[in-house]
Structure 1
């Protein structure tokens, strides 16, 4: 089995970046979800509220995060933070310490996205010394993990077979296939068995350089209905409705992919084409 995709999303809910290689950190792939958009009271804002966020393209240069949109000149944010104001921000029920990227970023977001229910939008950076723990009740005894601004876990692992099965079901309804980008995975592997990842306890490099623990099935939301290039919802409700109908977890809701933590290998490099091995749950 091989890695077929590596993706990062430096700003939560903005465009992703497909990589050939990536460094593994305790919080997932390097630079993944280190920034986030918040409203005036510090609550996170995502494509659930503003689907057009998907249309903002994101690049990483040697010294800057670059955001691009047809409605404005590119915004450059230095990778090295210097003397930024601190503020509390919220991802679901977690309060995190963040750094405010300032008025230029605020104005840029306002120009391309407008506001959110009368609130302005700010760009914030995860404070480098802050630690946001992964919910412990899904971890094995003795395990500890933390993440950045992701919904709850450092990584999302998906197999190609899972997408193929979703698209087969969509085709049976006369609907067009969707791309893997709808599901915003970190790491994709070429296992052909649909939802094989749901039965894995770990995924590891064949040479033992790193090892991930797959700890919680990912329940999906309306972001799966957003075209990740245009930011538009062309077929309302799909493919989320199909996932719910498939009932892969024999539980309410639609599930796709496995949330994962880093067990070993901080600092290791992953590459598309690398051989990986999966170990089944006991």
Structure 2
């Protein structure tokens, strides 16, 4: 890795339940943040990048380069969704052979303002998300998924929204 790291170990991966307000008994998360998967869409990131550029121009600033999706640390990124933020309204979907419930929309923290390549911090995307995607005192981007059973998903799998 080229730098000091600490290994973490979870003795029982079934021990950590998801937030009971958004999951069912038996729903578990291992070493992920709060839910088994985080899904984002390319259409939503493209719209956010447009808003960031428009806002920069309004302030008389040079528009920044588009944000890389890895700023949001998703497990699943989907493409081909016509409308940005369509995923906000999804309740159930399948990816390949696995069916998922949407636990909740994902509220975003300040970690998204740190460039994962350079470790430099800036105001985006929180500043622009706060302008366009803020409610309940939080900013939102992506959805948290909970699988309804075991299975594998892979790049290129079909996504079906129920």
Q: TM-score, normalised by structure 1?
A: 0.51
- Measured after TM superposition, the shift of residue 143 of structure 1 is 5.2
The correspondence for 1:184, drawn from 70, 73, 84, is 73
Q: Deviations over 1:151-179 (max 9, x none)?
A: 21110011111101100001112232101
Number of the residue aligned with 2:91: 201
Deviation beyond 4 Å, 4+ runs, structure 1 = none
The correspondence for 1:263, drawn from 130, 148, 157, is 148
Instruction: Please say if residues 244 and 252 of structure 1, whose CA atoms lie closer than 8 Å, have aligned partners that are also in contact.
Output: no
Aligned residue for 2:160, secondary structure, equals strand
Q: Deviations over 1:205-232 (max 9, x none)?
A: 35xx210111111110111111112222
- Measured after TM superposition, the shift of residue 196 of structure 1 is 0.8
Query: How many Å separate the matches in 1 of 2:153 and 2:86?
Result: 21
Distance 1:204 1:129, change over 3 A: closer
Instruction: Please say if residues 101 and 146 of structure 2, whose CA atoms lie closer than 8 Å, have aligned partners that are also in contact.
Output: yes
Query: How many Å separate the matches in 2 of 1:204 and 1:184?
Result: 20
Query: How many Å separate the matches in 2 of 1:198 and 1:216?
Result: 9
Q: TM-score, normalised by structure 2?
A: 0.86
Q: Deviations over 1:174-202 (max 9, x none)?
A: 23210100000011111131111111011
Query: How many Å separate the matches in 1 of 2:25 and 2:84?
Result: 28
Distance 1:148 1:178, change over 3 A: same
Aligned residue for 2:153, secondary structure, equals strand
Larger strand proportion of the pair? 1
The correspondence for 1:241, drawn from 123, 127, 140, is 127
Number of the residue aligned with 1:276: 159
Query: How many Å separate the matches in 2 of 1:221 and 1:168?
Result: 21
Q: Deviations over 1:96-152 (max 9, x none)?
A: xxxxxxxxxxxx33xxxxxxxxxxxx432111365111111113xx55310112221
The correspondence for 2:46, drawn from 161, 164, 181, is 164
Query: How many Å separate the matches in 2 of 1:202 and 1:196?
Result: 13
Larger helix proportion of the pair? 2
The correspondence for 1:253, drawn from 130, 133, 138, is 138
The root-mean-square deviation of aligned C-alpha atoms, in Å, is 1.8
Number of the residue aligned with 2:100: 212
- Asked which structure has the greater CA Rg, the reply is 1
Within 5 Å, which residues of 2 pair with 1:100-115? 108-109=4-5
Instruction: Please say if residues 205 and 277 of structure 1, whose CA atoms lie closer than 8 Å, have aligned partners that are also in contact.
Output: yes
Q: How many pairs align?
A: 154
Listed as ranges, the gaps of 5+ residues in structure 1 are 1-67, 73-107, 110-121
Instruction: Please say if residues 100 and 148 of structure 2, whose CA atoms lie closer than 8 Å, have aligned partners that are also in contact.
Output: yes
